[in-house]
Amino acid sequence: MFHAINSRDIPSLRVAITLQENQYNQPPQLASPDHNIKSVTSIFLTFLFIGFILGWLLQHNRYKKRQAIYIFRKAKTLDTIQKLTPQTQSQIEILERIWNKP
């Protein structure tokens, strides 16, 4: 395995050793900037899309609750109108006739 080294072989041997040492001393290569930008952009767009979906669901639920409250109040108002006594109904009719009088 060991060979006699001539003076001509020494510089080439040093270069070979230097190259090997430099290969191990180099820092690991980072991903290219284009790849990093694409990754960050894709993550951002994914979160943006999820945010839009969640925002729409929240707005839809709020709208449904408001509609339910509105319908409940209308039904309650109709119930109170139907429960009026005949005397109050006649008073309301008289007031309506006076109001609509030409």
**Tens-digit pLDDT profile for residues 9-49:** 555 545 445 545 555 556 556 656 677 888 899 999 999 99
Question: Which of 9-18, 49-58, 72-81 is predicted most confidently?
Answer: 49-58
Q: Which uninterrupted H or E stretch holds 32?
A: none
Percent of the chain with pLDDT over 70: 67
Q: If you average pLDDT over residues 46-65, what whole number do you get?
A: 94
- Decide if 13 contacts 5 (C-beta within 8 A): yes
- Decide if 31 contacts 23 (C-beta within 8 A): no
Q: If you average pLDDT over residues 90-98, what whole number do you get?
A: 85
Residue with tokens 């290569």: 29
Q: How far is residue 65's CA from residue 71's CA, in Å, rounded to a whole number?
A: 10
* Segments making up each domain of the chain, as ranges: 33-99
Name the percent of the chain in helix, strand, coil, to the closest 5.
Answer: 80, 0, 20
